[in-house]
Amino acid sequence: MRPLREDSLPWYKQFWPWFLISLPASVVVAAMITLGIAIKTDDGLVSDDYYREGLAVHKNAASTAHARALGIAARLDYRPAADALRIYLNQPLPAESRGMVLRIVHPTRPRQDQEITLRSLTEEILDGRLAPLGPAHWKLQLYPTDKAWRIEGRLKLPGNTSARLD
């Protein structure tokens, strides 16, 4: 009969106990990192007042239809180096639509949304300055201050510096 093998090293100098301890320890570290990310960041996807925003969808559809009936469209040119933009309208605006606002909406982070009051260079050219835009598929909404009509478009950054609004 063979004699039993006897290890001369203590357990803490062996490979397998440390390997087995490292598996649950790595899960604990990953859970702590995930918890830190969850506390630090806001997903921004759930609205506090979802009912009111749902009702606003109907009003927005009417203002978009009104812009279509007026035949209003535009092209936006974004200059990232100057943090400026210029909007070229396809026709002069109606007299009651002189004060114009551009709303720039981030798809998931509402803190990055911007609302810019544009100045009119001519009857068909609007100009404005904004905070730098990061990479995203930005939603653009152009409307007069009375919100009688609205045209929309998308700007994909990086890559595009021009967008069509209609």
Average per-residue pLDDT for the chain: 83
67: left (phi over 0), alpha (psi -120 to 50) or beta: alpha
Residue 152: inside a domain? yes
pTM of full prediction above 0.75: no
| Predicted local distance difference test score (pLDDT) of residue 18 | 94
Domain membership flag for residue 17: no
Q: Given this model, what pLDDT does residue 59 score?
A: 60
- pLDDT of the residue at 35: 95
**Counted domains in the chain:** 1
Domain that holds residue 117: 73-165
Beta bridge partners, 152, equal 141
Task: Write the CATH number for 103.
Answer: 2.60.40.10
Whether 2 is covered by a domain: the verdict is no
DSSP letters for 94-109: PGGG-SEEEEEE-SS-
**Tens of pLDDT along 63-87?**
777 767 777 888 888 888 888 898 9
Is the Cβ–Cβ distance between 98 and 89 less than 8 Å?
no
Q: Residue range 17-42: average pLDDT?
A: 94
Average pLDDT for 124-153: 88
- What confidence score (pLDDT) does residue 109 get? 83
Q: Which of 140, 138, 141, 142 is nearest to 157 (CA)?
A: 138
Is residue 115 a part of any domain in this protein?
yes
In a domain, 81, yes or no: yes
**How confident is the model over 119-129, as a mean pLDDT?**
86
